[in-house]
A = this chain, B = another copy of it.
Amino acid sequence: MTVAGKHANSVPSRTVTDRTTEQLVNELKQRADTLIEALPYLRQFHGKTLVLKYGGNAMTDESLKHAVMQDLVLLGYVGIKCLVVHGGGPEISRLMARVGKEATFVDGLRVTDAETVELVEMALVGKISKQIVQHISQHGGKAVGLSGKDGGLMLARKLATTGPDLGLVGEVAAVDPEILELLTANGYTPVISSTAADAQGNTYNINADHVAGWIAAAARAAKLVMLTDIRGVLRDVEDESTLIPTLRATEVRELMGSDRIAAGMIPKLEACLHAVENGVERAHIIDGRLPHALLMEVFTDQGIGTMIVPD
């Protein structure tokens, strides 16, 4: 059975069965109550922009994937402008393996030659982005895939490193949000891949967490949400019960200066920091392994995961 079969647009025709039962009315009432509980959050975020960094299990698990798409489409219907930035490590590795290209690492960072960056772009733009666009479409939304090259969205530059040359690993040099505004103002959800060219036309692979942070700042987003495979920022990386619910910008800096943080968390914290220090109200690192984690974050007070706020 196809996805479309499960999530099709049509509303089933009204049926009568059991409609007199009290049980049904109770169910409906619960449903209505839950919708009403969402009201304060609708008020708060209506017309605002939200950037979702989409990655990890939520991108590979079929069921989680559809839950994220539903969340995005729903947020669109309630008047929140969503931008999606996606990663794609596993898909890149899979494609590299298929073409027999071996990965080389220097100090844990992948050396990216011209052939690698071409494979990265094909995997991200030609496969993952199109899947996301297609899934949003199937759930009733309208999306357009963009790389940094499209509409002049992002200009890249070679990442400055002190160690050996990593090749075509880049960073965001500039963001021009014009194409994002055009698309969101007309009801399209931009789906952004983390590749871009520099002024000379060289293509770079950029860390997707960073791209999300920089896009959020340029688009003056109200919220940046990063889906990860962990509960949030932990005091003790071994112990999920040590979740830190809220961090101010200064505390994030301190934490990054310490050795208490998992390596994979660093770029996420950098992105959140950049965002909240450039006009984004709140950034969140949340557990994408929970279905509908995005909705949970937007539509509850307690929130989930770690929230990062400006000083």
Q: CB of A102 within 8 A of chain B?
A: no
Total contacting residues, chain A, CB less than 8 A: 104
Q: CB of A73 within 8 A of chain B?
A: yes
Q: Specify how many copies of this chain sit in the oligomer.
A: 6
Kindly provide the distance from the CB of A258 to the nearest chain B CB, expressed in whole angstroms.
21
Q: Knowing A43-B140, A127-B122, A201-B2 are in contact, say whether A295-B35 is a contact too (CB < 8 A).
A: yes
Contacts of A300 in B (CB 8 A): 28, 31
Q: Which partner residue on chain B sits nearest A185 by CB separation?
A: B182
The winner among A37, A43, A292 for most chain B CB atoms within 10 A is A43
Contacts of A38 in B (CB 8 A): 31, 35, 74
Contacts of A46 in B (CB 8 A): 77
Contacts of A133 in B (CB 8 A): 147, 149-150
Q: Is the CB of B144 within 8 A of A150?
A: yes
B-contacting residues, A66-85, CB 8 Å = 67, 70-71, 73-74, 77-79
Interface positions of A (Cβ within 8 A of B): 2-5, 7, 9-20, 24-25, 28-44, 46, 67, 70-71, 73-74, 77-79, 95, 98-100, 118, 121-127, 129-130, 133-135, 137-140, 142-147, 149-152, 179, 182-183, 186, 188, 195, 197, 199-203, 241, 243, 245-246, 290-292, 295-296, 299-304, 307
